[in-house]
Chain A
Amino acid sequence: MNSENNLYINGREITIESEKNLLEVIRKANIDLPTFCYHSELSVYGACRLCLVDVEGRGINSSCSMKPEPGMKIKTHTKELRDIRKINIELLLASHKRECTSCVKSDSCKLLEIASKLGVEDVRFKQTLMNKGIDSSSPALIRDMDKCILCGDCVRACDEIQGIGVLDFAHRGSGAVVVPSFGKPLGEVECVDCGQCARVCPTAAITPKSDTKEVWDVLDDPEKYVVIQVAPAVRVSLGELFGYKDGENVTGQMISALKHLGFKKVFDTSFGADLTVLEEANEFLGRIESGEQLPLITSCCPAWVKYAEQYQPEFLGNLSSCKSPQGMVGALIKNTLPEKVNVDKKNIVSVSIMPCTAKKFEITRNSAEFKDVDYVLTVQELGRMIKEAGLVFGELEPESFDMPFGFKTGAGIIFGNSGGVAEAVVRHLSSNLNGADATVSDVIELRGINGIKRKRITVKDRQFNIAVVSGLKNAKELLNKIQSGEESYDFIEVMACPSGCAGGAGQPVTHNSETVAKRGKGLYETDKMLQLHNAHENPLIKDVYESFLKSPGSKIAHDLLHTHYKSRKRFEGGISLIQSGEEKKKISVCVGTSCFVKGSQKLLNRVVRHISVEGLSDEFEVSATFCAENCDKGPTVVVEGEIINHCSFDDLKKKIDTFRSE
């Protein structure tokens, strides 16, 4: 023990290792200081003022924002600190909608947990509620701002993990509130429904939208034949709600519970994942052959797909046209099951259990008469239904999935992890092209929690450049590098949630930072225990092709298993203020909020006036655009493709003059 690197916590010595902040050191000393706003994966915010400690010589400070230094003497639970923490909780409770007995988050609310841990027995302050109302406009999420404690976790998650920034603070003082852009309802802004905001929310201010009532209704309807499919990542997380260890596989009990609830068939989305591997690999090889539309980018993740449509429509051609595994199983259910079970197609109800909130949006994408999937439930919702039905989960006799869409290989299971899709495709390609299965060592670098993983894989004499991304901010970074020519790939897997579906927002709420990794481990272990690891070895998949789909990429496979995308970018081109013409030089002035505040509107007016006064309207075309995404360097003007940041009227005039003199 190197005593030069020690500090003292409540008089006890502890060594500083690689901890980023004092809070991590204190936690290492087995002291669980409460926090709302500290998440190791997000930036330090320092707002909840619960992790306060008394540092000798420096007074009271938040430990999350302090660097540990050798020799520091720290106290963590003086009377003063305990009083402050209690008062802070009381203050939060005084402005919180305290309907704990009927709140969806009551079993996992951090506010409730900390209040009880700290022994808050009385709220001495007046209850003040703003009655901000409930926002249920999103297909995936519900916002109840009277339960918000303004810890800012959602704001930072959306910005720092996903790079979207749909949420931010507005107003100040006690009127401060977290709102979607421009104060609009969440359903009307560029939210991708990933739910990472809900995942980090300590209270019920943002929660996944519940469809349990609708599902109970169809289960209660004797005319309906209700079937269900379960995503890979669900079986290793559902147990958390019933006292199982993190990452423990509870497939048997889960199926039994679903049968108890009244689902006629229980299928496995992993079957759809195996099918996806074959369809996607076929598509990939086709593109490699033609050299077009590369890299191929996966399309299993609905939040990523929506993100691409909104922000990167130029990459839509690169997206695999494959539906997600959920969509594939859904399409097979609706198109083959009626005949098999002799039920009218309109009475078949297809439900899925997903670790994901964005899947609730995905099923609304196609407006066909028969939706592939009618309802999506999150793991949280399934847990509530099992509890409501009174099932003693741990005591249920294990059962198995129904055939044919219940049989899968390990390839379909690992889809629930970041890197899983890429690994499954590599396994398939290597045996397809090489005749030998890829070894784990080839693909091990695709596993793990890193946000961007890169690997060059050689199969026979061919090389494939593969990237695996989780977190949309990482995706944006990678796509930018591809656009700038800095990096190039053949195949990219994108998952919106860090660590993939194991870290999805529909998973049980956890305040433990290791839970997600344990779920991921559970999936890899499940893969190991299965006999088959390669999607094309799945005999039931072979059957489906032989009897129904013919071959990967066939017409019918295309009709049922593939989809298409559309650009959802709100502003493209711009609004032309001086008539356009082909010969004209194009000037576009950004009037997005950031540039507007920095005076771009005035600049625009001046340049329009300048162009008409100088009689230059035959030579130049001026338009107003929205967000050139150079917000920190505004006002931004683009002249013939050249970006001018911090643009003043004089800069612009000079530019116009140079063009004229050419």
Chain B
Amino acid sequence: MNSLLDLNAIKTDYQNRAKNVTRRIIICAGTGCMASGALKISNEFKRVSTLMGVHIETELKKEENNYNLLTGSGCQGFCQMGPLVTIEPEGIFYVKVKPEDVSEIIIETVLNGKPVERLLYKGNISGKSCKTQQDINFYKKQTRKILADCGNINPEDIEEYISRGGYEAAQKAVTEMTSIDICREILNSGLRGRGGGGFPTGRKWLLAQKETNDKKYVICNADEGDPGAFMDRSVMEGNPHSVIEGMIIAASGIGADEGYVYVRLEYPLAVRRIKKAVEEATKLGILGDKIFGTDKRFTIHVMEGAGAFVCGEETALMASIEGKRGMPNPKPPFPAQSGLFGKPTIINNVETLASVPGIIKNGAAEYRSIGTKESPGTKTFALTGHVVNTGLIEVPFGTTLREIIFDIGGGVTDDEGNLDPEGFKAVQIGGPSGGCLTAEHLDLPLSFDSLISIGAMIGSGGLVVMNKNTCMVQVAKFFMQFTQNESCGKCVPCREGTKQMLSLLEDITEGDADEHTLEILFNLGLAIKKASLCGLGKTAPNPVLSLLGYFREEIETHVMQQRCPAKKCKSLLTPVVIEEKCKGCGLCIKKCPVGAIAGEKKQPHYINEALCIKCGACIEACRLDAISEGV
């Protein structure tokens, strides 16, 4: 007779041991903070504490009392301010910590519980010091559900995850619920796929659940590839067990006994943490041949993808796992009917799976209490671009762009990074598959459907804020370049079409476009959207179509007047000498590669437009800003 795994014992044991800790030092060990030196900070804590005779341990002890605990955490989201250090139980939150600050932190905070004023975050407008995360607008305005534990717990310690109620939902699903009940609960919660499409997760599960097959698979799609997006990476780095727990519940829901986590090779930390988490869960009997002590089996393989964007598309992803070239296949058949190795398979995104345990634990109704009716729950976004606070955020669906950019993000910045209250121009949402939103959309409550209705999509959640000095044609060109590079080359519209769209956009920025260019661009965009084989192709024209829709005037100015209003398209520049400013130093004459500038010494120079190749070298060379970029 099998005896069920006693999660409660692990939980109580951990909590008892945690009581013996005086203070806990949490160093953010997300990729962002690691890059800005979190490891050095951690080592410095160990070194200095030894020198000072302050008792610091790096893991919970069984017997000892009155010591301090030093652990890492996953991404806390405030990446731009890293390395981040938090001291519990006071929750004192330090930003941009340097190794030389460590001894002061130990003396003041670790030993005496007092904050070091100069290391606290100061509000960018009020200038007020914020002692804890909850004093900071960036955090205060968020609703962190999926990310709730990301910055608090040690992602490499399964017992800490369990001590906070982890794996209870999975245990409940495996030991108490029928597969159909699990799928229905998820369906009732209204959870929708966070990978971009927004397909109801419960419906997907039910499709696979009703297939009769001895073998089924659960795949976690962690091939996050949108430029500037790092939500999935952060969840895997910060709370890998939540993803595994979601997978166990999914497997229980559809009757699968094997799972894959398909994660990008470029996420080494995420790969390491998820592998370690799988190992630890297996050791405890949460994964393996007898999960939670039942007769059910579920194992997880971690597979590293080689970095092709298209492998985030589910059929291409499965081909890649099967060892084939990562190219999509036509759907139907859907993976839920015939997926990995021809078996019924569900593929869910990291964030989707991480949302699952909460739903099973607290019920669908509780989940629906946040967010909108059609898009319940919260969504993480990677907030980047011209915004004061960049980083990883989580808000309920229905939040407006204005709240995200101005309350959480702290407002729009100019090119130098200074706050510019009037600077907002657009937000690119959903990466290369999404579109641009303008000032008129600032008060639109964000949800899957509201965005599709205006030609954009949530996508996986990249949010790039752009100020008024941004050339929208260049932005569209950037994304088109990306999809063109990342197209697998299988179907004609995507492979050849994106290449031609890119070339048409280049014509526009190079001044080679004419009145037909925009029409061809539009028609081609529509054809690619309708005719492509997979989601990558079907959404590839979105950035351009939304450009044509919302920034028609700007693009027409490029074409008809050969002028770039943001002055970012060099070929459209017409350098002109401002006579009042020019002192006739001759520097521009020297720098001009084609000899288009002439003039007497100490007299204002002039530019021969017929010779000028619009390279902009003169503008850069002039120390007196006496050459303007023209009209």
Contacts and interface: CB of A to CB of B under 8 A. Distances in A.
- Do A and B associate with each other? yes
B330 A128 contact: no
B364 interface: no
Contact of A91 (B323, B332, B490, B496): B496
Most chain B beta carbons < 10 A, residue from A48, A52, A92, A172: A172
A172 B308 contact: yes
Interface string A3-25: 00000000000000000000000
A205 to B, nearest CB: 15
A488 interface: no
Nearest to A67: B332
B334 to A, nearest CB: 12
A88 B487 contact: no
A242 to B, nearest CB: 34
Contact of A172 (B310, B329, B492, B524): B310
Contacts of A92: 492, 496
B486 interface: yes
B69 interface: no
Interface in A126-140: 126, 128
A47 B486 contact: no
Contact of A128 (B486, B487, B499): B499
B484 A173 contact: yes
B322 interface: yes
Contacts of B490: 47, 150, 152, 176
Contact of A87 (B329, B499, B524, B533): B524
Contacts of A173: 484-489, 495, 498-499
Contacts of A632: 322-323
B128 interface: no
Interface stretch (A58-66, A220-228, A284-292, A608-616): A58-66
A60 B486 contact: no
Contact of B531 (A64, A84, A174): A84
Given A47-B490, A49-B532, A173-B485, A84 B527 contact: yes
Interface in B503-537: 503, 516, 520, 523-524, 527, 530-533
B489 A80 contact: no
Most chain B beta carbons < 10 A, residue from A49, A61, A126: A49
Contacts of A61: 330
Nearest to A151: B492
A83 B523 contact: yes
Nearest to B329: A46
A537 B493 CA distance: 61
Contacts of B523: 83, 87
B514 to A, nearest CB: 12
Contact of B484 (A80, A152, A174): A174
Interface residues of A, number: 41
A126 B503 contact: yes
Given A124-B520, A173-B489, A174-B489, A631 B323 contact: yes
A125 B500 contact: yes
Nearest to B503: A126
B179 to A, nearest CB: 27
A421 to B, nearest CB: 36
Interface string B381-416: 000000000000000000000000000000000000
A60 B528 CA distance: 12
A59 B530 CA distance: 9
A525 interface: no
Interface string A171-200: 111111000000000000000000000000
B491 interface: yes
A282 to B, nearest CB: 47
Contacts of B322: 632
A44 interface: yes
Interface residues of B, number: 35
Contact of B325 (A95, A125, A168, A175): A168
B489 A49 contact: no
B524 A174 contact: no
Interface string B310-337: 1000000000001101010110100000
Contacts of A88: 492-493, 527, 531
Interface in A566-595: 594
B260 to A, nearest CB: 14
A94 interface: yes
Given A95-B496, A128-B499, A87 B527 contact: yes
Interface in B457-491: 484-491
Contacts of B484: 173-174
A377 B489 CA distance: 36
A244 interface: no
Contact of A66 (B332, B491, B527, B533): B332
B503 A128 contact: yes
Interface in A113-129: 124-126, 128
Contacts of A152: 490
A175 B489 contact: yes
Nearest to A52: B531
B434 interface: no
B357 to A, nearest CB: 30
A87 B523 CA distance: 9
Interface string A82-124: 0110011001101100000000000000000000000000001
Nearest to B487: A173
B575 interface: no
Contacts of A631: 323
B497 interface: yes
B527 A172 contact: no
Contacts of A49: 491-493, 531-533
Nearest to B516: A124
A111 to B, nearest CB: 11
Contacts of B308: 172
A78 to B, nearest CB: 11
A66 B310 CA distance: 22
B487 A174 contact: yes
B531 A65 contact: no
Contacts of B329: 46
B54 to A, nearest CB: 42
A171 B490 CA distance: 11
A548 interface: no
Contact of B330 (A60, A62, A80, A91): A62
A49 B491 CA distance: 7
Most chain A beta carbons < 10 A, residue from B308, B325, B500, B523: B500
Interface string A39-62: 000001011110010000001111
A49 B488 CA distance: 15
A169 interface: yes
A201 to B, nearest CB: 16
A150 B488 CA distance: 11
A150 B493 CA distance: 12
Most chain A beta carbons < 10 A, residue from B308, B310, B485, B497: B497
A80 B530 contact: yes
Nearest to A631: B323
Given A84-B531, A125-B500, A169-B325, A48 B491 contact: yes
Contacts of A66: 332
Most chain A beta carbons < 10 A, residue from B308, B491, B492: B492
Nearest to B534: A46
A80 B530 CA distance: 9
Interface in A624-639: 631-632
A438 to B, nearest CB: 43
A211 B495 CA distance: 36
A66 B484 CA distance: 27
Interface in B69-116: none
Interchain residue pairs A-B with the least CB separation, the first 8: A176-B489, A65-B330, A46-B330, A91-B496, A174-B499, A87-B527, A173-B487, A125-B500
Given A62-B533, A95-B496, A172-B487, 9 more contacts: A46-B330, A59-B530, A60-B530, A88-B493, A88-B531, A124-B516, A169-B489, A173-B486, A173-B498
9 contacts: A62-B533, A80-B530, A84-B527, A94-B496, A95-B496, A95-B499, A126-B500, A150-B492, A173-B486
